[in-house]
Amino acid sequence: MTTNERVLVLGMGRSGRAAAELLRREGAALCLYDRDAALVAEAAAALGADVERATGDAPPAFDRFDRVVASPGLRLQADPRLEPEVDLAARHLTAPLIGVTGTNGKSTTVVLIGEMLRASGVRAPVGGNLGTALCELVGEPADWVVAELSSFQLEHAQRLHARIAVLLNLAPDHLDRHGSLQAYGAAKARLADLQSAEDTLIANADDEWCRAVTERAAAQTKLFSATRRLESGASRDGDDLLVTASRGDWRVPLDRLAPACRAHLSNALAALLAASEAGGERDAMRSVLEGFEGLPHRSQQVCSRRGVDYVNDSKATNPAAAAASVDAQRAPVWWLAGGRDKQLDFTPLARVTGTIRAAFVYGEAAPALEAALSERAEVVRTESLDEALQLAARRAEPGDVVLLSPACASFDQFDSFEARGDRFCELARALPC
């Protein structure tokens, strides 16, 4: 990049600020934009340098700048000057990238891969959509960089290059942003589209979209399956996980897996295959699978009160994730669902196979959830998550599970899925023992 190149940075969240800091180190003349003037002022002060500031409903005209770097949260039309934050990072990262995308399970898979590699003595920082922007990892010592990548990050990507790409699944989500499932899937498929024949593409053999992407992929494909044995790759074989690779076959007994891995078996298989490709050692990877405690708000075992288990799966923000969460429970479920409706089809929720005692629905999506679930189970309309949990707690019996698995975004009553999950944990832990 030429010194004093004029660059407009759009969005002053974590990704935008990380991009601005990297660009300033490279000598760019910056203009920072966000609708929130306070965020712009804070970011400019943190840079400790004279930068142009812009706020308002619309960003400055792009033709004033040599380049435009965008945060993933902004909905923008394609433009020759436009560069997503992940592409900026890709210009500077020196370690090869393991990229993970899909509708559900990205964070768990990324963390598992990172832990497996680090347990094997491999330097493998994690970031992307998982807390740490990719631009923040530029310059950090690394043998591999492991990144969670969302459709928002990938839709305009041109330079991002994953030496190992992982495709987990596709289910309806974020259609309010992308407009259709086809467009949403195309955005995620950019991760594979940007690979070459020297790269590796790891994909879910149980998912129709994943299989379709592999058919046109240039990279070498390796598959995983949580439902059947595969001739190669990583799969479930009876009571074992089986990895078939160039270094020979090896197994991990299912009963040795930590509960968080048994609850996310596809993610565990994907992580095993990706970490193995990146040089993970068998004993180290097995140890991670046996000791993995899971991530907060993802099938999190919160507490037990009077013989009733409370499980926080606040990250289940779409119907597919919520249905899988209910089906993963081994006990009868008192189901808490609701929040902001992302205009998704709730019909699949009525096809869950788990045992549902009752569904307590709340928030903006409560009417749509009630309509979808009323023929499957008893549905109780409530005003809030607080009320839903209290009602479920009164009716639950020893051996049951009270499960928060919302199938919706949190933004009608909470600032984030984390805040929603934290409230559930607080309420559950306050119940009498």
pLDDT tens per residue, range 99-120: 999 999 999 999 999 999 999 9
The answer to whether residues 280 and 313 belong to one domain is no
The answer to whether residues 161 and 270 belong to one domain is yes
pLDDT tens per residue, range 217-271: 999 999 999 999 999 999 999 999 999 876 678 999 999 999 899 989 999 999 9
286 in any annotated domain: yes
Q: Choose the final residue of a domain: 233, 263, 291.
A: 291
Set 104, 156, 169, 174: catalytic member: 174
Residue 297: active-site member? no
Q: What separation in angstroms does the CA of 20 have from each of 69, 151, 162?
A: 9, 22, 23
pLDDT higher than threshold 60 for residue 1: no
From CA 362, how far away is CA 4, in angstroms rounded?
Answer: 52
pLDDT tens per residue, range 350-366: 999 999 999 999 999 99
Write the CATH number for 164. 3.40.1190.10
Set 104, 106, 315, 318: catalytic member: 106
338 in any annotated domain: yes
Share of the chain above pLDDT 70, in %: 99
The answer to whether residues 316 and 286 belong to one domain is no
pLDDT higher than threshold 70 for residue 2: no
80 in any annotated domain: no
| pLDDT given at position 342 | 85
Q: Tell me the mean pLDDT in the region 74-88.
A: 89
The answer to whether residues 340 and 422 belong to one domain is yes
Query: Which residue's entry shows tokens 């598959």?
Result: 223
| pLDDT given at position 143 | 98
Contact 313, 299 (CB under 8 A): yes
Tell me the whole-structure pTM to 2 decimals: 0.92
The answer to whether residues 424 and 325 belong to one domain is yes
The answer to whether residues 129 and 175 belong to one domain is yes
Residue 188: active-site member? no
The range of the structural domain enclosing residue 19 comes to: 6-71
The answer to whether residues 364 and 307 belong to one domain is yes
Set 104, 129, 169, 267: catalytic member: 129
Q: How many domains does the chain have?
A: 3
pLDDT tens per residue, range 160-212: 999 999 999 999 998 888 999 999 999 999 999 999 999 999 999 999 999 99
pLDDT tens per residue, range 119-135: 999 999 999 998 899 99
Burial (CB count within 10 angstroms: exposed 0-12, middle 13-18, buried 19+), residue 390: middle
84 in any annotated domain: no
77 — pLDDT class (breaks 50, 70, 90): confident
Residue 315: active-site member? no
Amino acid identity for residue 238 in this structure: G
| pLDDT given at position 3 | 64
